[in-house]
Amino acid sequence: MSAVSDNPLLDFTDLTHFDRITPADVEPAIRHLLDTASTTLATLEAADTPATWDDFVIPMTEATEHLGRAWGVVGHMHSVMDTPQWRAAYNDLLPEISGFYAELGQNEALYGKYRALHDSAEYANLSPVRQRIIDHELRDFRLSGAELPEAQKPRFKAISEEQSALGAKFSENLLDATNAFAEWVTDEAELAGLPEDVVAAARAAAEKEDRPGWKFTLQAPSYVPVMQYADSARLREVMYRANGTRASEHGKPEWDNGPIIGRLLALAAEEAKMLGYASYAELSLVPKMADSPEHALSFLRELGVKAKPYAERDLAELKAFAAKELGIAELNPWDMGYASEKLRQARYAFSENEVRQYFPEPRVLDGLFGVIESLYGVQLSHDRAAVWDPSVKVLRIERAGQLIGQLYLDLHARDTKRGGAWMDSARNRQRSGSRLLTPVAYVVCNFSPPVGDKPATLTHDDVVTLFHEFGHALHHLLTEVDEVAVSGIHGVEWDAVELPSQFMENFCWEWDVLSGMSAHVNTGEPLPRELFDKMLAARHFQSGMQMVRQLEFSLFDLRLYHEVDATQPVPIDTVLSLLEDVRKEVAVTKTPAWHRFPLSFSHIFAGGYSAGYYSYKWAEVLSADAFAAFEEAGEGRGSLLDAATGQRFWREILAVGGSRPALESFIAFRGREPQVDALLRHSGMLEAA
């Protein structure tokens, strides 16, 4: 254990010392920072501390900034290096961290200082950015219970602490249940249809445990190819059932997320009621763009009406193909991915695995860097810094030779890493006196690692995911706002935060982009134009089914937090019944009664998207319309990498971060309010409008 004086978690001079930090450093570092922050806040509460920007807001921000950064490192390690030691270090301090922020949010004296500043003559003379920060602070204090009677504040704090603990437990249960399953194949005939690299990875996994045959797991690089390519219906069914019942009553009782969901819903409802809202969904939408749950629900249902006929057509075509060409008379859920891939190959004469060979990871990264450099006038290069795993890369972004941000890139799946892909901030841009602290971000994915001496290869979906997460990172790193509270992604409305990420996805369908970032893993040949044209023709393949699937998730989330009576812990049967009701409205496929999707829906139970999953579709309208500006600028030029439009997008969207309302930023870029037509066109459904 490091003493406070040399604890690497307390060194904020530069990038984090991931080579030195251990779980034993967490407790002394975090306790020291909690004590330091508490002492500063006690001074700021005092009546003789003036309620001014310089005397109050700046030290208030600095009081928690180091604590937030250090705890961010601990939370990051809990996500990417979830060993028993890191899990214990995180969970042991989580109640104290949650308690500290809950008490801070309820602190009536600090809230009063912000109110006094808002009502003072100084407020009118502050910049619009600083006025926005004060307005947000007042809102957030109200939503954190600062106006509650003193007798109710302990209960409100206890709710916050329990929510944090349950969210962490939800993720841990899901990871443990995922890692606990393995399907061992000893009959080589069951490998028919699987790509060579998937088989090689399964063999390597078995060899690692000194076992014969092949090991398949629920980690995405193993699970997804089985569902897509394995000719063995038995293998697909076993994997599908295991994946669909993770962290449920079908496994270890201590990993069952059902009771956690019920308790989280009850806590959310209690929190909302204490603050005077009819549902948690109403509370959740206060800082978002959507006016109300009804507004968001109406938006989703309008899309559903347009998308469902396309989804029904997609399913009918798939069923007919499966019956005629594959001999699958009844299409089971574990047949869907397999039959869809076969239909794609038959209709467009290519497979996802064929495309994958043209996207070796180093080449994709070089191509991605080229897009970013062309659009935003920056330069990306590899940097040297301590990392938590040898596969992690560090990048630096410069403009005119000046460092403007750095990025940790952790791309490969590991059994100590939670699933999915995400971006998170490691450090915010901020100016302290004459010193500028540049922003730092994490981008984390779960792609297949390299096998043998060949580089890792990415599916086109992986490429899209990488561009998506880099969009988030660029939002954080290319900011020019110096105030921490609204720098980068901070202060951006939750239902607009996906705009830059979904915007970046569109470039993955442009010939001048893909052709420049492809090289066959064996021959080095670029992606053939003929193959790209097939990919483009298949772009809207089953887009109807894909859209209603996302609408299903979004409607389920909003209705769960808006309509379900959660005055007591909600039984899992109630949750499943609501999901089935949503499916009757928008879904076109049947899900088995034993499937337990909600128990692995981390976004809304452990990832901050509670009553906010609709944001993906909401922001997709913004992103599609924003990308249309590049289509208009590039018309007839053969390239959409238009530097002038890119500079405008950077200046009006990325650079301003959360310093003004997202709608104002969009209008400043586009010259008008967003229109849904671009999304429908990008989804191949414009004629339904």
Q: Which of 592, 612, 632 delimits the end of a domain?
A: 612
Q: Is 63 exposed, middle or buried (0-12, 13-18, 19+ CB in 10 A)?
A: buried
Helix axes 572-586, 293-325, angle to 10 degrees: 70
Instruction: Tell me, yes or no, whether 65 and 195 share the same domain.
Output: no
Distance CA 592, CA 576 (A): 11
Q: Is 349 part of any domain?
A: yes
**In this structure, which amino acid lies at residue 200?**
A
Q: Is 525 exposed, middle or buried (0-12, 13-18, 19+ CB in 10 A)?
A: exposed
Active-site residue identified among 469, 493, 505, 510: 469
pLDDT at residue number 434: 83
- Binned at pLDDT 50, 70 and 90, residue 688 comes out as very low
Q: What mean pLDDT is predicted for residues 560-581?
A: 96
Q: Is 67 part of any domain?
A: yes
**In this structure, which amino acid lies at residue 545?**
M
Give the tens place of pLDDT for each residue, 191-250.
999 999 999 999 999 999 999 999 999 999 999 999 999 999 999 999 999 999 999 999
Contact yes or no for 484/426 (Cβ under 8 A): no
Q: Which of 612, 630, 647 delimits the end of a domain?
A: 612
* Residue 441: its H or E element: strand 440-447
pLDDT at residue number 555: 98
Buried b (16+ CB within 10 A) or exposed e, 547-559: bbbbbbbbbbbbb
Instruction: Tell me, yes or no, whether 378 and 493 share the same domain.
Output: yes
Would you give the distance in Å from CA 443 to the centre of its chain? Answer: 10
Q: Which of 612, 631, 656 delimits the end of a domain?
A: 612
Instruction: Tell me, yes or no, whether 487 and 405 share the same domain.
Output: yes
Q: Is 238 part of any domain?
A: yes
- Binned at pLDDT 50, 70 and 90, residue 685 comes out as confident
Residue 214 lies in domain: 181-246
Contact yes or no for 394/387 (Cβ under 8 A): yes
Q: Which long-range contacts (CB under 8 A, 24 or more apart) does 52-57 make?
A: 52/117, 52/120, 52/122, 53/117, 53/122, 53/126, 53/130, 56/113, 56/117, 57/117, 57/130, 57/133, 57/134
**DSSP states of 362-409 as a string?**
HHHHHHHHHHHHHHHS-EEEEE----SSTT-EEEEEEETTEEEEEEEE
Contact yes or no for 431/504 (Cβ under 8 A): no
Q: What mean pLDDT is predicted for residues 560-583?
A: 96
Instruction: Tell me, yes or no, whether 349 and 379 share the same domain.
Output: no
Whether 433 shows a pLDDT value over 90: the answer reads: no
Q: Is 395 part of any domain?
A: yes
Give the tens place of pLDDT for each residue, 362-387.
999 999 999 999 999 999 999 999 99
**DSSP states of 1-58 as a string?**
---GGG-GGG--SSS--TTT--GGGHHHHHHHHHHHHHHHHHHHHSTTS--SIIIIIH
**By percentage, how much of the chain surpasses pLDDT 70?**
99
Contact yes or no for 59/125 (Cβ under 8 A): no
Backbone phi and psi for residue 243, each to the nearest 5 degrees, phi listed first: -65, -40
**By percentage, how much of the chain surpasses pLDDT 90?**
95
* Total length of the chain: 689
Q: What mean pLDDT is predicted for residues 74-87?
A: 97
Q: Is 192 part of any domain?
A: yes
Q: Which residue has the higher pLDDT, 454 or 148?
A: 148
User: Which tokens in the block code for residue 218?
Assistant: 């629920």
**In this structure, which amino acid lies at residue 287?**
P
Query: How many CA atoms does the CB half-sphere of 285 hold within 13 Å?
Result: 24
Q: Is 531 part of any domain?
A: no
- Binned at pLDDT 50, 70 and 90, residue 638 comes out as confident
Instruction: Tell me, yes or no, whether 420 and 559 share the same domain.
Output: no
* Three-state DSSP string of 220-269: HHHHHHHHHHCCCHHHHHHHHHHHHCCCCCCCCHHHCCHHHHHHHHHHHH
Instruction: Tell me, yes or no, whether 350 and 375 share the same domain.
Output: no
Q: What is the pTM of this model?
A: 0.94
For residue 407, what is the domain's CATH number?
1.10.1370.40
Estimate the share of the chain in helix, then strand, then coil, as percent rounded to the nearest 5.
60, 5, 30
Q: Is 168 part of any domain?
A: no
Distance CA 107, CA 103 (A): 6
Contact yes or no for 127/485 (Cβ under 8 A): no
Give the tens place of pLDDT for each residue, 57-73.
999 999 999 999 999 99
Instruction: Give the pairing of strands 402-412 and 440-447.
Output: parallel
pLDDT at residue number 507: 96
pLDDT at residue number 587: 98
* DSSP-assigned letter for residue 360: B
Beta bridge partners, 412, equal: 447
Instruction: Tell me, yes or no, whether 32 and 129 share the same domain.
Output: yes
User: Which tokens in the block code for residue 428?
Assistant: 């915010």
Sorted by sequence, the CB contacts under 8 Å of residue 393 that are 6+ apart come out as 382, 387, 408, 409, 411
Give the tens place of pLDDT for each residue, 464-519.
999 999 999 999 999 999 999 999 999 999 999 999 999 999 999 999 999 999 99
Average pLDDT, the chain: 96
Give the tens place of pLDDT for each residue, 513-566.
999 999 999 999 999 999 999 999 999 999 999 999 999 999 999 999 999 999
Distance CA 409, CA 443 (A): 5
Distance CA 603, CA 171 (A): 10
Instruction: Tell me, yes or no, whether 276 and 388 share the same domain.
Output: no
Q: Is 170 part of any domain?
A: no
pLDDT at residue number 2: 54
pLDDT at residue number 689: 36
For residue 578, what is the domain's CATH number?
1.10.1370.10
Distance CA 301, CA 279 (A): 20
Distance CA 24, CA 77 (A): 13
How many CB atoms within 10 Å of residue 390?
A: 5
Instruction: Tell me, yes or no, whether 368 and 493 share the same domain.
Output: yes
Whether 399 shows a pLDDT value over 60: the answer reads: yes
Give the tens place of pLDDT for each residue, 590-636.
999 999 999 999 999 999 999 999 999 999 999 999 999 999 999 88
Alpha helices, DSSP H, located in 144-232: 153-180, 196-208, 220-229
For residue 56, what is the domain's CATH number?
1.20.1050.40
Instruction: Tell me, yes or no, whether 340 and 369 share the same domain.
Output: no
**In this structure, which amino acid lies at residue 163?**
Q
Instruction: Tell me, yes or no, whether 393 and 493 share the same domain.
Output: yes
Number of domains in the chain: 4
Distance CA 202, CA 230 (A): 13
Instruction: Tell me, yes or no, whether 487 and 407 share the same domain.
Output: yes
Contact yes or no for 359/460 (Cβ under 8 A): yes
- Is 96 tagged catalytic? no
